[in-house]
Homo-oligomer: A and B are copies of this chain.
């Protein structure tokens, strides 16, 4: 009888652990929003970044520059836009998502509103938290980066990029929201195209910027929850048509 009790206990433990694991990956908050736990990745690149290298030595032609903008009229080969690694991959814009999923194992989430829960915020810079977000018929890349712009003073930078052209990106608005400890911080902007370099967006500071003390105020047990919402922006699309 004791044996059966122990077996039953072990099975219960396994179910509990499995549930905990599942919960850690995708949980629904009280408000019914999908919460996605995103683990950090210590970044190996940065100095010099691919953008900087491309801008510094365009004549070498080893890698095409990241900053394509609207100059790419025809579907061209684009370099891997994953901000994590200096990846030699090149391909059409349409296959960037599958490359990021398969090669860089970046998760993709569905839904107009999700919560991005970045863990281990205490890890030293440079560190990235990255996820893809599929909604409104498009895929977006959310990048949270811990970086030391000023030595000894790490900051957090969060931005959203459309895996598409800048013209397509103009049709959307994304919102990042932090809410904790009687404080709320909201950032709304047009997503940048992934054809523009995420490094330059962050170095320009044209994104949600948090200093360490604010990040701590918004964190819970070393994890930072960022609410994400994407909407279509009719004003922007009419501007783009003009």
Candidates B153, B186, B206, B212; contact of A186 at CB < 8 Å? B186
Per a CB cutoff under 8 Å, which of B173, B214, B236 touches A205? B214
The answer to the question of A188 belonging to the interface, with a C-beta cut-off of 8 Å to chain B, is: yes
Interface status of A20 (Cβ within 8 A of chain B): no
Q: A89 at the A/B interface (Cβ < 8 Å)?
A: no
Residues in B whose Cβ lies below 8 Å from that of A213: 204-206
The stretch that binds B, out of A58-66, A80-88, A177-185, is A177-185
A182 pairs with B236, CB closer than 8 A: yes
- Whether A186 lies near B189 (C-beta < 8 A) is no
Q: Is A187 an interface position by the 8 A CB rule?
A: yes
Decide if A211 touches B214 in the complex (CB within 8 Å).
no
In the complex, the answer to whether B183 meets A185 with C-beta atoms within 8 Å is: no
B182 x A190 contact (CB < 8 A): yes
CB of A217 closer than 8 Å to a CB of B: yes
Tell me how many residues of A have a C-beta within 8 Å of chain B.
24
Nearest residue (CB) in B for A214 is: B205
Query: Nearest B residue to A233 by beta-carbon distance?
Result: B182
The distance from the CB of A110 to the nearest CB of chain B, in whole angstroms, is 25
CB-nearest residue of chain B relative to A210? B209
Pick from B187, B189, B205, B217: contact of A211, CB under 8 Å:
B205
Which residues 195-221 of A have a CB within 8 angstroms of B? 204-206, 209, 211-214, 217
A184 CA to B177 CA, complexed, in Å: 12
Complex CA distance for A150 and B148, rounded to whole angstroms:
12
Q: Which residues of B contact A186 (CB under 8 A)?
A: 184-186
Chain A positions 154-195 with a Cβ under 8 Å from a chain B Cβ: 173, 182-190
Report B-chain residues with C-beta under 8 Å of the C-beta of A204.
213
**Chain B residues whose CB sits within 8 angstroms of the CB of A187 once the complex forms:** 183-185
A212: which B residues are within 8 A, CB to CB?
Answer: 205
- What 7 A-B pairs have minimum CB-CB distances, sorted nearest first? A184-B188, A150-B150, A186-B186, A205-B211, A183-B189, A205-B213, A182-B190
Q: A182-B190, A205-B213 are in contact. List 12 more A-B contacts (CB 8 A).
A: A150-B153, A173-B182, A182-B189, A183-B188, A183-B190, A183-B206, A184-B188, A184-B189, A185-B185, A205-B214, A206-B213, A206-B217
